Copies of this chain bind each other. A is one copy, B any other.
């Protein structure tokens, strides 16, 4: 499937030519405690579509050191596999990436592609998935958005609706909440906003997929909350994928994609196949200027 990645449609910023170009320091430090050997899958690497922007290696390191296998998963993401031995384990990494420094691309003229003309690899992103019950929300989507202007504007209308109707709060975090739950409960965190927006878009025959990655407080007021990975989503309009974000509902600077998939199931940062206890979870995403003290000492 690797040939398919080239038309993922992720923008390739014209490197080194942008006046706004910036460097971003990325890193994470995650620690688990386990009662037995636990197989773990990670999606902690930068997405292959951004490989050309990396200015330092992007490697998952573990402490204690264990074998880490790297592979490309079904969705084109760079995944790792490892077995955490009983006890404590640290997963950490740090890299430097060049970014256009420009907001998420926008094209209000981008059109909806009729289902019959969609590339076959895009079709799965019209279907039901664990957290996006398209079937259960299809009538609601039609009632709310069928008459909205087609194309980019319709997706933006969906984002506006979700953004205005759902209340954000870390206290609402639940790994079990589906798009329908978000629709009925009207509360959630990042991923919940995106799941609802994705399900509504799919119900309107607009391919939509979940995305996860780094999103620092760049060009916006610094959030008092601890940095975390973020979730957004992508829709397929006019022949390529575009970034939308029903949580922030803004064109943001400095997103660094890590993984895409049907929903949070496919994009989990870590998936453990036995009980683990999370001891630490720290993420760094910040603009990096030459001369900055590297946080590599901490995370690298």
Contact = CB atoms under 8 A, between A and B. Distances in A.
Interface of A: 1, 39, 41, 71, 73-74, 79, 81-83, 114-116, 120-121, 123-124, 126-130, 133, 135-137, 139-140, 165, 171-176, 180-181, 184-186, 205, 265-266, 271, 273
A114 B265 CA distance: 21
Copies of this subunit: 4
Contact of A127 (B82, B133, B180, B266): B266
B176 A135 contact: yes
Contacts of A176: 135-136, 181, 184-185
Contacts of A133: 130, 184
Contact of A174 (B39, B41, B114, B174): B174
Q: Which 3 A-B pairs have the closest CB atoms?
A: A39-B115, A136-B184, A128-B130
Given A130-B130, A176-B185, A205-B273, 10 more contacts: A1-B1, A39-B116, A71-B120, A73-B124, A79-B120, A127-B265, A127-B271, A130-B133, A136-B176, A139-B186
Nearest to A41: B123
A49 to B, nearest CB: 19
